[in-house]
């Protein structure tokens, strides 16, 4: 067996930083799945649907509507990053907050929440096994998503191999923006690769995301070269006037069909992200953006089908 395809010795004590677990996900691969959201991403997409995923460390989120103004958090905050405002709500100085989590422990209404929990492979696997009967009955499994899975490649690889040992179908969702040495370690224990492409035009990608798309495109080619047997579904998050243009879908479809990839998912823009930005003390820059109309999504789908692709619209 080639060195890059060999199974590693599973370290059940390896730790990863998880910010959410959805135990009955249905849009992150086939069947009923447990979607595990890993923290950390090197991309800086201004429209990011999961802003809590971007930083590689724990953070505090504040749900103002849940706050009962008990003010317990003021006494617990060692950094004095929390103050009281005249409208009887707390104010967080996000620059001073070190996410120690002490305020969360005393927040009885759960208005304050610590984003990110360190978990071992063993702990996470134990949760996954609770629902194995649902995976088996629905041809489902587990999906590692994020953030960017490759940023926690060592932990992710150990967890994926642990799932394989238990007969659980595995999937990862990745942008492919990573050193090839990290990304390739995740491919052998993965049954399905959900590969995100934001924008094919390198200038648009650099302007809107802050990074070149060269690494992502090259790594996709490497996966096809070194792991031709792996199932890949390409995914295009349809961002208004950035990736949901007919030109971008033409370019994307042409590129992936030339690689021999047949499956493409189009993801309409999700309007619900703005609330998360408020919880993180940030302003959402696109409050007026709307989800694309069904007619627009069907036009994009027809373009991709014209390149011989199997296309689905995933809401």
Which domain range does residue 175 map to?
3-55+117-313
Q: Which string of DSSP letters, residue by residue, matches 228-287?
A: TTSEEEEEEE--TTTTSSHHHHHHHHHHHHHTT--EEEEEPPPGGGHHHHHHTT---S-T
Report the greatest alpha carbon distance in the chain. 67
Question: What is the domain count for the chain?
Answer: 2
State the pLDDT at residue 17.
Answer: 98
Convert the pLDDT of each residue in 94-120 to its tens digit: 999 999 999 999 999 999 999 999 999
Distance CA 186, CA 171 (A): 10
State how beta strands 310-313 and 117-120 pair. Answer: unpaired
- For residue 185, the domain's CATH number is 3.20.20.70
pLDDT of amino acid 68: 92
Give the position of tokens 């689905």. Answer: 312
Whole-number pLDDT of residue 273: 83
**Boundary (domain end) residue, out of 81, 100, 115:** 115
- The CATH number given to whatever domain includes residue 104 is 3.30.70.20
Which residues pair with residue 256 across a beta bridge? Answer: none
Does position 3 have pLDDT exceeding 60, yes or no?
no
Question: What SS3 class is residue 83?
Answer: strand
Same domain, 231 and 90: no
Query: Which tokens go with 57?
Result: 């460390």
Residue 132 pLDDT > 60 = yes
Question: Average pLDDT, whole number, for the chain?
Answer: 95
Shared domain for 193 and 150, answered yes or no, is yes
- 28 and 87 within one domain: no
pLDDT at 1: 53
pLDDT score at 2: 59
Among 5-9, 136-140, 292-296, the range scoring the smallest mean pLDDT is: 5-9
% of residues, the chain, pLDDT over 90? 90
| pLDDT (average), residues 3-19 | 86
**What pLDDT, on the 0 to 100 scale, is given for residue 274?**
86
Digit-coded pLDDT (tens) for 29-64: 999 999 999 999 999 898 999 999 999 999 999 999
- List, for residues 183-236, the tens digit of each pLDDT value: 999 999 999 999 999 999 999 999 999 899 999 999 999 999 999 999 999 999
Q: What is the mean pLDDT of residues 10-26?
A: 97
pLDDT at 7: 76
Whether 18 and 69 map to the same domain: the answer is: no
Whether residues 99 and 226 fall in one domain: no
What pTM was computed for the model? 0.94
| Rounded distance between C-alpha atoms, residue 187 and residue 183, angstroms | 7
Q: Please tell me the predicted confidence (pLDDT) of residue 8.
A: 84
Both 83 and 232 in one domain: the answer is no
The 10s digit of each residue's pLDDT in 143-178 is 999 999 999 999 999 999 999 999 999 999 999 999
- What is the rounded end-to-end Cα distance, in angstroms, of the chain? 39
Considering the domain architecture, whether residues 131 and 152 belong to the same structural domain is answered as yes
Q: Are residues 89 and 167 in the same domain?
A: no
Are 121 and 265 in the same domain?
Answer: yes
* C-alpha closest to that of 64 among 45, 81, 80, 87: 87
Q: Is the same domain home to 232 and 295?
A: yes
- Of 90, 115, 140, which marks where a domain is finished? 115
Structural contact between residues 139 and 30, judged by C-beta atoms closer than 8 angstroms? yes
Regarding whether 94 and 49 lie in a shared domain, the answer is no
Contact 90, 69 (CB under 8 A): yes
Whether 116 and 10 have beta carbons less than 8 Å apart is answered as no
Q: Helices 121-130 & 153-165, crossing angle to 10 degrees?
A: 40
Contact call for residues 257 and 306 (beta carbons, < 8 A)? no
What pLDDT does residue 6 have?
Answer: 61
Q: Final residue of a domain: which of 115, 145, 160?
A: 115
> Residue 60: helix, strand or coil by DSSP?
strand
Shared domain for 97 and 123, answered yes or no, is no
- Residue 122 pLDDT grade (very low, low, confident, very high; cuts 50, 70, 90): very high
Residues 270-308: tens digit of each pLDDT: 988 888 999 998 999 999 999 999 999 999 999 999 999
């Amino acid at each position: 067996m080639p060195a890059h395809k060999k199974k590693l010795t599973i370290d059940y004590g390896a730790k990863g930083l998880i910010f959410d677990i959805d135990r009955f996900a249905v849009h992150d691969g086939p069947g009923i799945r447990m979607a595990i959201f890993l923290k950390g991403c090197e991309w800086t997409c201004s429209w990011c649907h999961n802003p809590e995923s971007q930083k590689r460390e724990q953070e505090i989120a504040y749900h103002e509507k849940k706050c009962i103004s008990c003010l317990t958090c003021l006494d617990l905050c060692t950094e004095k990053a929390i103050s009281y405002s005249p409208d009887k709500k707390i104010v967080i100085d996000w620059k001073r907050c070190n996410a120690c989590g002490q305020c969360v422990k005393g927040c009885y209404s759960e208005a304050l929440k610590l984003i990110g929990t360190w978990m071992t492979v063993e702990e996470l696997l134990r949760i996954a096994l609770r629902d194995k009967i649902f995976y088996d009955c629905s041809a489902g499994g587990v999906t590692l998503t994020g953030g960017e899975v490759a940023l926690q490649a060592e932990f992710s690889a150990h967890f994926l191999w642990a799932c394989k040992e238990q007969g659980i179908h595995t999937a990862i969702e990745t942008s492919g923006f990573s050193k090839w040495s990290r990304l390739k370690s995740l491919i052998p224990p993965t049954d399905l690769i959900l590969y995100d492409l934001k924008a094919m035009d390198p200038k648009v990608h650099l302007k809107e995301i802050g990074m070149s798309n060269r690494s992502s495109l090259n790594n996709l080619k490497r996966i096809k070269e070194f792991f031709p047997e792996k199932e890949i579904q390409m995914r295009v998050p349809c961002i208004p006037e950035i990736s949901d243009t007919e030109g971008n879908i033409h370019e994307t479809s042409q590129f992936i069909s030339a690689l021999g990839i047949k499956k493409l998912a189009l993801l309409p823009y999700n309007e619900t992200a703005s609330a998360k930005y408020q919880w993180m003390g940030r302003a959402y820059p696109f409050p007026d953006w709307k989800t694309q109309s069904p007619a627009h999504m069907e036009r994009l789908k027809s373009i991709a089908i014209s390149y011989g692709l199997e296309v689905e619209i995933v809401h």
